[in-house]
Amino acid sequence: MYNRINPTIIKELELISGVKNIITEKDKMEDYSHDETVLPHLKHYPEVVMKPETSEEISEILKIANKYNIPVLARGGGTGLAGGAIPLFGGIVISLEKMNKFLELDEENLMATMEAGFTLRELKEKLKEKNMFFPPHPGEESATTGGIVCTNAGGARAVKYGTVRHFVRALEVVLPDGQIVRLGGKLLKDSSGYNLLHLMIGSEGTLGIVTETTFSVMPLPAASLTLVIPFDSVSKALKSVPEILCKGILPLSIEFISSRLINMSKDYLNKSWPVKTGDVYLLIILEGEDMEEVEKSSLKISDICMNYEALDVFVAEEREKQEEILEIRSLVYEALKSVTIEALDIVLPRNQIESHLKRVEEIEKEEDMWLPTFGHAADGNLHTHMAKVNLKGELIPDWEEKYEKIRRKIHDDAISRGGKISGEHGIGVVKKEYMNIFTDNTLLKLMKDIKKSFDPNNILNPGKIFDL
């Protein structure tokens, strides 16, 4: 299907980025053969890794790739959980690690522009210097800004601010044929024809390589509180969420998570958790322009939760304590990583969360596989971790055989409830087989036609989202 890279092609690539920015030795490509997906078979080595420093270099690489029919994959931080950054067909990996400059903070328009290899952590620190912030927070701060655009990353703050899509104002993109285009601008409105900017967002690097991003940013809120509210059941915890939202309270985030997972994470980090009671916690973050406003919302939430038999309400006011709580919650994945096969990314209507969780518990008992589930209660995004261990914590000898059957059961239940199988991680290769199940055939054909129009040779990140 694709051609192999030979010494002649290597020489042409070296002329573009220089010998120092190209890797051809397999033993130096380990980091580029996988992302954070833990499935053992999802590891593929590229033939060449290139580290361009400009969009023009990427343009020339793509022209050569088209000339010789070589597959190309653009890679950011490699933090994805759907296999989107795995070079399934070898070829060229374009690492954006050297395209990591912060270009501009436009304080008048409240917009920040940076190269696509700039990380989320770097963006957070840069904006903090000016008392500003980028509202979406997908969680893993080593992710690159180009990467979070290509997956339309979400995170806990989506309930108030939306996903990354809602903050992208402009992109520089290198198209598969090497053309460099700019999409969008420093605009809050644009009704000028087809919105190609938003077509690129969430396309997982299959339609073009994002090289520069412009985001809307906001002033840092003056006041914030973090609430940790324990319940003795997930049902009681979840029932309080719609009422909170119906009262006109819009928290930054509303998360639910079991005490077992919190204990694993705090022990992994050697940190302390402020609440000792309860089986399930609601973790609620509030922010506003002044503490009086935030405290009023906190009292309303406390009253609502106590009506649903909350066991207590802990309020963290100090920034240090808030950050500690958020760190423990954010690193649950790391604490579970050693036993995790796959972290599912199901999104459901809010009123279907509890029913779906009950079905997951049934499957857990039927198959004797531990399926710890937590997530974003207010936006219906659930993360079920499929574990290699049973409910007693014992390794399952045949977990690879059981895995697909159990995953299908969980996904089928979600789809039957009007859900989808990716809320923020993307499709990649891990979920590709399900596109035919939950996507209408007409819509799927339209997606494939768009891909063929942009990339007629199918060289850009082939084998992701769907097969042509």
The larger pLDDT score, comparing residue 304 to residue 154, is at 304
Cα 436–Cα 428–Cα 454 angle in degrees, nearest 5:
85
Intervals of CATH 3.30.70.2740 along the chain: 334-430
**What pLDDT band is residue 42 in, cutting at 50, 70 and 90?**
confident
Kindly tell me if the per-residue pLDDT of 337 is higher than 90.
no
pLDDT tens profile 99-117? 999 999 999 999 999 999 9
Q: Which two tokens stand for residue 354?
A: 């509890």
pLDDT digits (tens, 9 = 90+) for 205-239: 999 999 999 999 999 999 999 999 999 999 999 99
Confidence check: pLDDT of 418 > 80: yes
Summarize the confidence of residues 149-168 as an average pLDDT.
Answer: 89
Section 38-65 average pLDDT: 93
pLDDT at 330: 85
What pTM was estimated for this model as a whole? 0.92
Backbone phi and psi for residue 318, each to the nearest 5 degrees, phi listed first: -70, 140
CA dist 422 and 181 (Å) reads 29
Q: How confident is the model at residue 274 (pLDDT cuts 50, 70, 90)?
A: very high
Mean pLDDT computed over 248-265 = 93
Q: In the predicted model, what is the mean pLDDT of residues 197-212?
A: 97
Q: How many CB atoms lie within 10 A of CB 310?
A: 23
The interaxial angle of helices 7-17 and 55-68, nearest 10 deg, is 160
Of 338 and 216, which is predicted with more confidence? 216
Extract the runs of DSSP E, i.e. beta strands, from 89-143.
92-95, 102-106, 111-115, 132-133
Q: What is the CA radius of gyration of the chain?
A: 23
What would the DSSP string read from start to end of 134-199?
-S-B-S-TTSBHHHHHHTT--BTTHHHH--GGGGEEEEEEE-TTS-EEEEE-S-S---SSS-HHHH
* Residue 302 falls in which region: left (phi positive, over 0), alpha (psi -120 to 50) or beta: alpha
Domain with CATH 3.30.70.2190 in the chain: 223-327
Question: Which value, to the nearest 10 degrees, does the dihedral of the CA atoms of residues 212, 119, 227, 220 take?
Answer: -60
Task: Name residue, tokens 């240090």.
Answer: 320
**173: region left, alpha or beta (phi > 0 left; psi from -120 to 50 alpha):** beta
Of the candidates 354, 332, 355, 384, the one whose C-alpha atom is nearest the C-alpha of residue 234 is 354
User: What is the average pLDDT across 114-133?
Assistant: 96
User: Cα 60 to chain center, whole Å?
Assistant: 30
- Residue bearing tokens 């412009």: 214
Task: Give the pLDDT band (50/70/90) at residue 409.
Answer: very high
Task: Give the pLDDT mean for 348-375.
Answer: 95
Question: How far apart are the C-alpha atoms of 88 and 366, rounded to whole Å?
Answer: 34
pLDDT for 40 equals 66
Region 223-327: CATH code: 3.30.70.2190
Q: Parallel, antiparallel, or unpaired: how do β-strands 209-216 and 168-174 relate? A: antiparallel
CATH class in words for 334-430? alpha beta
Distance of alpha carbon 267 from alpha carbon 332, whole angstroms: 10
**Domain 102-219, CATH among 3.30.1490.20, 2.30.110.10, 3.30.465.10, 3.30.420.40:** 3.30.465.10
- Note the pLDDT of residue 81: 87
